Each structure stands twice: as C-alpha cells, then as structure tokens.
Amino acid sequence: MKKIATRELVFMALLVSLNIVLTRVASIRLSIGGVEGIRIGFGGFPVILAGIMFGPAAGGIVGAVGDAVGYYINPMGPYMPHFTLTAALTGIIPALMLTPIKKTVPSFWQLLLAIGTGQLVTSIILVPYFLQMLFKIPMAATLPARIIGQALHVPVYALFAELLLKRINIALHYNIR
C-alpha cells in the first residue's frame, strides 16, 4: 500500500466533512416505518470524487469514515455496518473501473459509466436489499424513487467530477492518481 501524502490526507478530510454535511444536513430524508428509507441529496459525490482522485482505497476510506462519523453526529435509526460497507463501495467501484484509464482526467462518458455502475450496485441494489433484510421494508417501496434519483444524480455527478478534475489539475498542477 502506498503512503498517503499530506496533501491527499487534507483533501480526503475535506471530502469526508463535505460528505457529512451534504448527507446529514443538506439532504431530504424520508422515513418508511420509522427508518430512513429514502435520502435525496448529493452526499455521495465527495466519496466518488475521492475514489477517482486518489484511488479505490481513498474512496473507501472517505465513504466509511463519512458514514460512521456522520451517524454519530446525526443518527436516524440504529447503526448498521451494512450501510458503512455500501458507503465505502460508493467510492471504491468507480475508482476501480477507472483504474485502467491512463489519462489524468477521464472523459464524461467514462465517468458516467463508472459512476453509473457504482450507483447501480450500491444505491439501487444494495441499499434497498439491506433495508428489506434488516427492517422488512419492501424493495418495491424504495426502488422506484431510487432509480429516478440515480437517473438524475449520475449525470450530474459525472459532469461535476469532470469539471472539478480539470480545474484541480489546472489550479494545482496536480496529476490525479
């Protein structure tokens, strides 16, 4: 495992805090049966960006730390490590898909495919499955809203990621990965 540079650690800490604020404060949460069933917001974007910028391990760390710390700051329902795993995978999957790409900034379509695959696995498959398994919330109750939400989130995440990666490369003369 490579050593994490101070600059990367600072960026990761910033992305963890941004994840917590966007997920726990600046999002709309809908309860189903006393448990958070649907969350509408952009909290997943900092996790995805961490994975794309610094690799799958960093994306997983930002997702897991953001979920665990965010839960203790603003809990809704009991703590379940299943969702921490899902948060970590949110940063790991897109980064793994973009690893073979040698360009410093992936294209919009590459980002769209990588982020879309990650969100399909985590937000559309795993989270509804865990809600059904743990809290007996039927997948049919959460799946339609999640599909619509991700159909909107994924292109926005890909566009923001492309713009930010270009700006960060220009401003800091910093090659991602």
Domain boundaries, the chain: 6-172
Q: Measuring CA to CA, which residue among 132, 100, 16 is closest to residue 63?
A: 16
Which CATH class for the 6-172 domain? Answer: mainly alpha
pLDDT tens-digit profile of 126-173?
Answer: 999 998 999 888 898 888 888 988 999 999 999 999 999 999 887 665
> pTM here?
0.90
- How many other CB atoms are found less than 10 A from the CB of residue 13? 12
